[in-house]
Amino acid sequence: MGQVPVSLLLISHLLTLPTAIHHTTAQQECTSLNTVPHQVRAGYWFSHSDRYSPVSNINTSLYTHLYYYSLSLDDTDSRVALPPDDQLPLLATFSTTIKAENPSLKTILSIATDDGQTNVSNAAFSSMVANQTLRAAFINSTMELARTNAFDGLDLAWQFPSSSSDMASLGILLAELRARINEEAQSSSSPLLLTATVYFSNHLFDVPADNLDYPMEAISDNLDWTNALCFGYHKNSDVTAFDAPLYDKASHFSTSYGITSWLDAGIPACKLVMGVPLYGRSWFLKNKMKNEAGAPVVAAGPRQKMSNQTGMMAYSEIKEILKDPDVVFLYDNQTVSAYIHSGRLWVSFDSLEVVEVKIKFALQKRLLGYFLWPISFDDSNYTVSKQASDIWLRNHDSPYYEDENGVEQAPSPAQLPPQDDALTPSAALSRSTHRSPTTHQLHLDLYILLFLLFYLTTL
C-alpha cells in the first residue's frame, strides 16, 4: 500500500466534482419561453395594510416582483371588482411609485377570493370559470385594469378550487388568458406576466371531493410561474402547532412535502415559486407550563393592530413582543420552525433562522424563486426580506450554483435528515449521505488536484 492507491482515491473523488455547467431539461423548458424571468424574489403587498406599511416605505431593491394584493371578483358580472374609493389612488399609483425607485421591478395585480376585507365567495369564482361568457368578461376586465394601472402582470389567487369541475374550468381559463395575453402582446411591447397563487401541494387535502388535483398541463403550459402557498397548515388546530414547518415526520403538512408534490406532478422547478410567511400563528395556552408544540390551547391568540385577526401576528408585531426579556424564543431544528412563549401566549413563526433554511431548500430544489407573504408584515428595516434576498443572491449568483450540490449546506436539521415524503423515512435517510461540498472544500479540492498533477508529472 503506497502512495498510488491513495492518489487514485483522491483522483476518483475529484472526478466526481462537477466541472461543467449542467442544464436540466426543465431549465431548457423554461428558457424557451421568453417571458420567464431568471429568478423570482417576490413579495405580496397588502393594500388593506397600507396605513401601516405604505408603498413609499418599501425597499424596492429587495425584490424582483411585487404583487398588489388584492382585488376581487364582482359576482354580479364576473368582472374584476374595483377597490373602495379610498383605495383607488393606491391602485393607480402603486406601479409608478415602485418603478420610480426601481425601474426593473415588475408589478403584478392579484385577483383573489380573499382580499383581506370583504370575503368574496369561492362560488363567484366557480360560476365565472364555468361559463365562457363570464370568463371572457373576467379576462377582458382584468387585463384592461392591469394595463391602465401600469402593471406588468396578472395573478389569479383562487383559494381554492374545490371540485373537479372547478379544476377543469380553471385549466380552460388559464389557456384562454394565455391566448388573450399572447394576442394582445402582438400590439403592445411586452406580454403581461401570468401567475397563479395555489395550494401548498398539487393535491388538495381536506376537501369534500376525492382526488382533487390541479390541472398540471394547463398550469405548466400557460403560466409564467406558480406560487405555492406554503403555510397555514394548522389553521384550526386545537393544540399549538407550527404553521409552516419545512419538514414534518408525522403528516403531509409541510413545505418540503408540498414543493415535492408539485415537482413530482410535473411542474418544471424553474416555474415553481415557494411561499414564506411573514405572519405567525398564535394561541393562548391552557397551561403555561405546557408550552411545546402540541400543547393544549384555550383560544386563538389576541388580535393585533396591523394583522387585525385573532390567531395571527405580523413578524413586526412578534418582534415587538420579543423585546420583553421574559419572552422565550425557541428554534426547532427538526421541523425548521420557530416559536415564542410568554405566560399563556404561544406563537409559531418564521424567524430569520427558518427563512435561511427555507431559502436554501428552494435553491437546492432549483426553484425559480420564493415569495414573501406579505412584505407589509416585515419590520421597518425589511429584515426578513433582506435575509431572504441576501441568502438567495449569495447562492444563486455563486459560480457553484450550476452544480447540483452548489448550495451552501443549510445548518439544520443536523440530527434528522430532510424528509421529502413523510411516508418514506427510509428514502429520506439515504439522502442524508449526499453532503454537498462547500465553497471552501471545492477550493481545497482544486488545490489537491493541482498538487497531484504536479506530483504525478514529476514521477
Ligand X SMILES: *[C@@H]1O[C@H](CO)[C@@H](O)[C@H](O)[C@H]1NC(C)=O
426's grid cell = 427510509
Considering only 178, 386, 394, 396, the residue that binds ligand X (CB under 6 A) is 386
Considering only 190, 287, 381, 439, the residue that binds ligand X (CB under 6 A) is 381
* CB nearer ligand X, residue 317 or residue 420: 317
The candidate with the shortest Cα–Cα distance to 223, out of 183, 171, 261, 258, is: 171
4's grid cell = 498510488
Considering only 75, 379, 404, 445, the residue that binds ligand X (CB under 6 A) is 379
The string over 244-267, giving b where at least 16 C-beta atoms fall within 10 Å of a residue's C-beta and e elsewhere, is bbbbbeeebbbbbbbbbbbbeeeb
Interaction mask 42-61, ligand X, x per CB under 6 A: -----------------x-x
Considering only 119, 251, 430, 441, the residue that binds ligand X (CB under 6 A) is 119
Minimum distance from residue 421 beta carbon to ligand X (Å): 22
- Measured distance CA(266)–CA(274) in Å, rounded: 16
Considering only 42, 62, 181, 228, the residue that binds ligand X (CB under 6 A) is 62
Minimum distance from residue 380 beta carbon to ligand X (Å): 5
Minimum distance from residue 46 beta carbon to ligand X (Å): 10
Interface segment toward ligand X; rule CB under 6 A; list 89-97, 376-384, 397-405, 436-444: 376-384
According to CB under 6 A, which residues from 174 to 213 bind ligand X?
Answer: 184
Measured N-to-C along each axis, helices 352-364 and 383-396 cross at an angle, to the nearest 10 degrees, of 30
Q: With binding defined as CB under 6 A, does residue 133 bind ligand X?
A: yes
Contact status, residue 314 vs residue 278, Cβ threshold 8 Å: yes
Considering only 111, 129, 134, 154, the residue that binds ligand X (CB under 6 A) is 134
The candidate with the shortest Cα–Cα distance to 111, out of 147, 149, 68, is: 68
Minimum distance from residue 203 beta carbon to ligand X (Å): 21
Considering only 107, 387, 412, 419, the residue that binds ligand X (CB under 6 A) is 412
* CB nearer ligand X, residue 133 or residue 457: 133
Residues ≥6 apart with Cβ < 8 Å to 115: 48, 69, 70, 71, 72
Location of C-alpha cell 394548522: 234
- Measured distance CA(201)–CA(230) in Å, rounded: 8
DSSP string, 19-36: -S----HHHHHHHTSTT-
Interaction mask 288-327, ligand X, x per CB under 6 A: --------------------x-------------------
The string over 359-374, giving b where at least 16 C-beta atoms fall within 10 Å of a residue's C-beta and e elsewhere, is bbbbbbbbbbbbbbbb
* CB nearer ligand X, residue 202 or residue 412: 412
Minimum distance from residue 142 beta carbon to ligand X (Å): 8
Enumerate helices (H) and strands (E) in the chain, giving the number of each.
Answer: 13, 15
Binding residue count for ligand X, defined by CB under 6 A: 21
Minimum distance from residue 59 beta carbon to ligand X (Å): 4
Q: Which residues of this protein are in contact with ligand X, per CB under 6 A?
A: 59, 61-62, 119, 131, 133-134, 140, 143-144, 184, 308, 333, 379-381, 386, 411-412, 414-415
